[in-house]
Amino acid sequence: MSMINRHRLAETFEFLASVDSVSRHEAAISAEIRKMLAPFSADIVMDRAGEKTGGDTGNLIARIVGNRDVPPLMLNAHMDTVEPGVSVKPQFNNGVFTSDGTTVLGADDKSAIAIIIETLRVVNENHLPHGPLEIVFTVSEEIGLLGAKYLDFSLLSAKYGYALDTADTECIITRAPAANHFEIQVHGKDAHAGADPEKGINAIFLASNAISSLTLGRIDAETTCNIGVMEAKGATNVVPNLVQLKGEARSHDEDRLEQVTHAIVSAFETVAADYRKEKQSGDLPRVDVLVERDFSRTLISEDHPVVAMARQAAKNMGREILPKRTGGGADANVFFQKGIITGVIGTGMKDIHTVRESIRLDDMEKTVRLLLEIIALHAGGQYLS
């Protein structure tokens, strides 16, 4: 589709990548995106999610009036990046964007923003048929999908759409796991490790015993578990009296997720209870546990219009897009929970969350073409009930 301005797409991405927007600091990029959206919509609002995330701005929502009478379609990307993400200097060589090697590039997820902006420009410039569009750019996605969790959903009326937030341009993610976040504190008793170790209760030792009884990593085909943080402060001559652990469990099966989460908590509680019983040590050691639902699962049937439109759009381009399962979470998980069926499509970004991150301009252009095809199919109304 020659209507796409490849040079403009590259310039837009390069500009966005150069604007700092690590999580909770998206105000600057939000202001720039708002300027880019202004030609397409007079209805651009910012919600108050920033007040709840501790950030400097909220989610940005643009509602674009359609020229076809069909239900609205949502397009989503997130504005924040991970660290190291300050003073990004994008490089472009041989059709590939990278950073200078000292920071991430920010293709996750600024490639998606650039793709959506270019798509809207092509639609607008060429007066293409399109239904109502709701563009949602979120904050603080990288630190727990916080922008989506605090999004003012009263601002949206779309019941389905697409999030651009994965690497593979040949797939649409239809299944993503639910996740539980847990924090565990193991309370022991301090004592001098040389003079009176018998008087202490070593919290590190107890936590290690509990961990050694667990299966971590991939539990089964649908379930994973990880302890990512274990922290104790003190000195080598003091029996440690406190260990704090943080981790997560994920599964595509809700029952299995609860079983694994329960097994983790039970392992720590059992170690503490066995010690108290054996040593007659009163109320120590003690375990405090906090378990929170991080996000719920996504499960989209393969005959849903969101999947059918994406697959037909690809077919129209001589490509194939296949439904895919992922182990990661995205804003789409939160949208799905809120009743907005959201498929995740790829932009071509590679080695995300590293200083080796890169993206090919060809892949971004390919995804613009896909979105234009989806918007055309959506405008036709044949996939809508």
Active site residues: 80, 141
Task: Give the integer Cα–Cα distance in Å for 184 and 173.
Answer: 32
Q: Are 73 and 105 in contact (CB under 8 A)?
A: no
Q: What sign results for the dihedral spanned by CA atoms 34, 36, 42, 43?
A: negative
Task: Give the integer Cα–Cα distance in Å for 264 and 15.
Answer: 45
Write b or e for each residue in 129-139: b if 16 or more Cβ atoms lie within 10 A of its Cβ, otherwise e. Answer: ebbbbbbbbbb
Cβ count within 10 A of residue 318: 6
Please name the amino acid found at residue 384: L
DSSP letter (8 states) at residue 125? H
Element (H, E) at 249: strand 242-251
How far CA 347 is from CA of 142, 301, 313, 322, 369, in Å, comes to 17, 22, 15, 15, 11
Please name the amino acid found at residue 33: I
Task: Give the integer Cα–Cα distance in Å for 332 and 165.
Answer: 9
Helices (H), the chain: 6-17, 27-37, 49-53, 107-125, 146-149, 203-212, 254-279, 305-316, 331-337, 361-380
Task: Give the integer Cα–Cα distance in Å for 263 and 250.
Answer: 13
Task: Give the integer Cα–Cα distance in Å for 249 and 261.
Answer: 6
For 196, how many CA atoms within 13 A lie in the half-sphere containing its CB? 7
Please name the amino acid found at residue 234: G
Task: Give the integer Cα–Cα distance in Å for 195 and 242.
Answer: 20
